[in-house]
Amino acid sequence: MLRRAVIARWAVAGALLAAGTRTASAQARALPSGDVHAIYARLLRQIERIPIFDHHAHPGFGDDGDVDAQATPPEHLPLRERESNPEFVVALKALFGYPYADLSPSHMQWVAARSAAAERAPGTAYFDRILDKCGIESSVANRVAMPAYLDPKRFRWAFFVDSFLFPFDNTLVTTANPDEGVYIPLQEKVLHRYMQQAGLSGLPDTFEGYLAFVTRTLEENQRRGGIAEKFEIAYFRSLHFEDPPLEAAASIYRRYRAGGIPSPEDYTTFQDYLFRYLVREGGRLHLPVHIHSAVGEGDYFSLVRGGVLNLENVLKDPRYLTTTFVLLHGGYPFFREVIWLAAMKNVYLDSSEIETLVYPSEFKTVLKLWLETYPDKITFGSDAYPYSAALGSEESYWLGVHSARDALASALAEMVASGEVTEPAALQLAHGYLHDNAAALYPAVAQ
């Protein structure tokens, strides 16, 4: 019985990957043979020509407050993200002909002046050109709102929904640690913005009214070009969501709508219901649900509460099969565990953040495991993000794309040299990861 199931799965996999994935008599080997460097060089030349669908980024100038729904608290940056990283100089030279060899404060004035001039230019040509230079066809923009300087044909909006989970007095959450003191007031601002957008001067009287407001906002944002709803909720609470009945959430809403500090237990129950409501609505409206699933900014980010396996009961709940989930940043550092969640047909991974948080040698390990397991479920994201008022998202687009192409060509070269896949099959996998797998999730907007 088991063997028949295995044979059936191999037949399906074979049909999907087309002939040539393995040679007829080949058995994969642990030690690569042949010239891995030559295979790498051949693959990289092809990979550099693949137009990219960037599944996750925060495009914008360094002083644009709508670039994210949250701000970065004071933190101890990992090595590669420090301004001492010479790769930023390489990116600045490649993109803008930066004339200096370091990022000293006086040289940063050159960067700031260049950025300010770009920001003053009218129209959308500037950021379109950045995408062109990086080989990106389109980029999903995680932003509070879309600015006039981003071309809506190239930049697709993913809008934030966490704020719907924080409508009450947030004193206890805000004071939990210094990071939350930075994050939660910004979530409150986003909720007020959504309420203004809906013409509400206060929270609706009933819970049914509140859910109707949530739905109206999702529909309105979709009408404005939104293609996905985005959660950063791992920054604020556990990724484990229980399944409380509607009446439990409704009674908590009635109790705290007009004031009073909810107990942590009550707030959690309310949020558990709201999260699942947003997941269901994401399925109904064909808005994929993007969830931050990796280690985050800020020194207080909890790896236990924010660990991606906490989501398993939701991701493997057959009631949500019509909702597409995208696990942003691939659960890092739990990348070995997260790929097995992609066994669910509606669960996808995005590799953003990882390729710039760590160096390509580590990222190659991540990608290789994923390519060897569920290659049809993995997608590229740059996580382009402004580093400072002077360094916008442009340099991180460049760094993310170049790191990913390098790690991808390296991982595939090892797979070819170990007899796991042929070179043509490796290129097919590269197209899937860099473009096709993600683009297929947004058929209405893919170019």
Q: What residue number has its CB nearest to Zn ion? A: 383
In angstroms, what is the minimal distance from the CB of 180 to Zn ion? 18
Using the minimum distance from each CB to Zn ion, give the nearer residue, 211 or 357: 357
Choices 87-95, 121-129, 376-384, 412-420; region in contact with Zn ion by CB under 5 A: 376-384
Closest approach of Zn ion to the CB of residue 107, in Å: 27
Q: Which is nearer to Zn ion, 160 or 166 (CB)?
A: 160
CB of 292 to Zn ion, least distance (A): 7
CA dist 329 and 316 (Å) reads 19
The least distance separating Zn ion from the CB of residue 127, rounded to whole angstroms, comes to 17
**Shortest distance (Å) from residue 340 CB to Zn ion:** 23
- Toward Zn ion, which CB reaches closer, 39 or 378? 378
Q: What angle (nearest 5°) sits at the alpha carbon of residue 446, between those of residues 443 and 447?
A: 140
From CA 69, how far away is CA 145, in angstroms rounded? Answer: 9
Q: Minimum CB separation from Zn ion for residue 142, in Å?
A: 6
Q: Strands 378-379 and 347-350: what pairing?
A: parallel
* Between 296 and 432, CB nearer to Zn ion: 296
Q: How far apart are CB 397 and Zn ion at their closest, in Å?
A: 12
Shortest Cβ distance from residue 446 to Zn ion (Å)? 21
The pattern of x and - marking residues 377 through 416 that bind Zn ion according to CB under 5 A reads ------x---------------------------------
Instruction: Determine the distance from the C-alpha atom of residue 316 to the mean position of all C-alpha atoms in its chain, rounded to a whole number.
Output: 20
Tokens of 270: 């309310």
Structure tokens at 99: 């004339």
Nearer CB in complex with Zn ion: 262/330: 330
Span 3-62, contacts to Zn ion by CB under 5 A: none
Q: CB atoms < 10 A from the CB of 409, how many?
A: 25
Decide whether 308 or 427 has the Cβ nearer to Zn ion.
Answer: 308
Q: Based on CB atoms, which residue is closest to Zn ion, 39 or 357? A: 357
Encoded one letter per residue, x for contact with Zn ion by CB under 5 A and - for no contact, window 333-372 reads ----------------------------------------
Question: Total residues contacting Zn ion (rule CB under 5 A)?
Answer: 1
Is residue 420 part of the contact set for Zn ion (CB under 5 A)?
A: no
Q: Nearer to Zn ion by C-beta: 159 or 256?
A: 159
Number of Cβ atoms within 10 Å of the Cβ of 78: 10
Span 56-115, contacts to Zn ion by CB under 5 A? none
Minimum CB separation of residue 354 from Zn ion in Å reads 11
Stretch that binds Zn ion, among 302-310, 358-366, 375-383, 405-413 (CB under 5 A): 375-383
- Report the residue number, 203 or 326, with the smaller CB distance to Zn ion: 326
Residue ranges that bind Zn ion, judged by CB under 5 A:
383
